[in-house]
Structure 1
């Protein structure tokens, strides 16, 4: 067990939330941030108190999808930092402090920032939290996987591309070694053909999101998100989380 008191604070914060999902991808470009953001936003529209936490400190993008500028985001202090409200969605991203400037963190620096964020954000009242993580397998992700496994459920995102699938196999092995018995799997930019792959690997296939050429019509504002042609697919996935 990590002795850092911030870690114990993080465990307490997350332990108060009934459902916490760690959205993961073992490589970039598979649409993990899009999945995290739209799942959380559509969940909030269903009258489920929902939160979205962006843990990508180097290259955060959830605020771009939601259509909010860093200078528009502010947090009140009430037994920690209260998330910023975007409609009914509770939202936290470090972008409000960095103002879109690059934040290069390595090793202990990245872990320290992650522990700080997880320990100070007050998610009181949130029933479902989606955590968007950086792509790949950084030190902070591995820490979250191994040390928060009793509190979170992983959602692995992949495209049907062979490179993505092979990368997923490595990630799944790490998750299995960490002790996760249930791993949710989302196929992005696909047509459902990875369901057989998920079944063969013992993954819980919760649905797919088809490829949309003009994806910009679904991102950049809450209005676009609410009118997105993909909404029905995300709602189908939400019904299984």
Structure 2
């Protein structure tokens, strides 16, 4: 069986780190500035009827990124913005459950998908196109085709912000979104735990490589407050995301507690921003939304 040598793997990784997009270079020194089309890269496009595109990413699963995406979109809507939410996770879509929506989207007169709406927010997800128990078992080409449809074949009513709930990882899907769209900014979500922060840093580096500005970092599951004695416990350690934000000169947008109500209301399809807007746990979502509004002024 053919095996790659360790030297070849190391040299390949080093070459990718120095030139991740594979742009040919001649000689030493910085690469000359060229239009994207001359670099062999696609021209970044706008989505019709969408003013601003915001990516919510974690580069890791299981840190509550989708819950942050949905509640932040609802907070933006509550602050007066017209908002859409795109679930870009082809294999594990969460938005239909979080927004309590189901059913196949209708087609417009132009043959595009019409978003489903609830709580004043338009949304599109692969979860509307396949049944909840059906596994999407596709190779990369099919995934990219589905992603293209979700990005460019949806007929959004005019919106101020399209929040894109990114899938975990830093692979083809994330790179394609970063290279195809004119993105206004990205939000990184992580827990304070070191094992989650490792991937959060990878997400930061990914956005730096594709020239997407980072609005800031959200520290999710930051702490737990006992409902009886009000004692504050840091189950996943403390201030880890703040430390990473400081190390990379980024803003900490909010610290969201580990709250049972957030979980229960999310599972019920009634996000806490809608079900209990006066809760202390809701304030960080509005802090994130206001930071996005300020960033895109």
TM exceeding 0.5 = yes
What TM bracket, shorter-length normalisation?
0.7 to 0.9
Which of the residues 185, 197, 202 maps onto 1:170?
A: 202
Q: How far is the alpha carbon of 1:205 from its aligned partner?
A: 1.9
Contact 2:61 2:168 in 1 (8 A): yes
Q: Matches of 1:120 and 1:213 in 2, distance apart?
A: 37
Q: Matches of 1:198 and 1:205 in 2, distance apart?
A: 6
Q: CA RMSD, aligned part only?
A: 2.3
Q: How far is the alpha carbon of 1:107 from its aligned partner?
A: 1.7
Indicate the SS of the match to 1:51. strand
Q: Partner residue of 2:50?
A: 17
Q: Against the structure 1 CA distance between its residues 216 and 207, is the aligned structure 2 distance closer, same or farther, given a 3 Å change threshold?
A: closer
Contact 2:70 2:271 in 1 (8 A): no
Q: Partner residue of 1:195?
A: 242
170-179 vs 209-218, greater mean Cα deviation: 209-218
With the length of structure 2 as denominator, give the TM-score of the two structures.
0.71
Per-residue CA shift, 1:106-155, capped at 9, x if unaligned? 2222111111221111223110111111111231111112343x434111
Which of the residues 228, 236, 240 maps onto 2:287?
A: 236
Unaligned runs of 5+ in 2: 1-35, 224-237, 293-297
Which of the residues 133, 146, 149 maps onto 1:116?
A: 149
* Number of matched pairs: 232
With the length of structure 1 as denominator, give the TM-score of the two structures.
0.86
Q: Partner residue of 1:75?
A: 106
Q: Against the structure 1 CA distance between its residues 76 and 168, is the aligned structure 2 distance closer, same or farther, given a 3 Å change threshold?
A: same
* 1:175-186 equivalent positions in 2, closer than 5 A: 175-186=207-218
Structure with larger RCO (C-alpha < 8 A, sep 6+): 1
22-31 vs 172-181, greater mean Cα deviation: 172-181
Higher helix share: 1
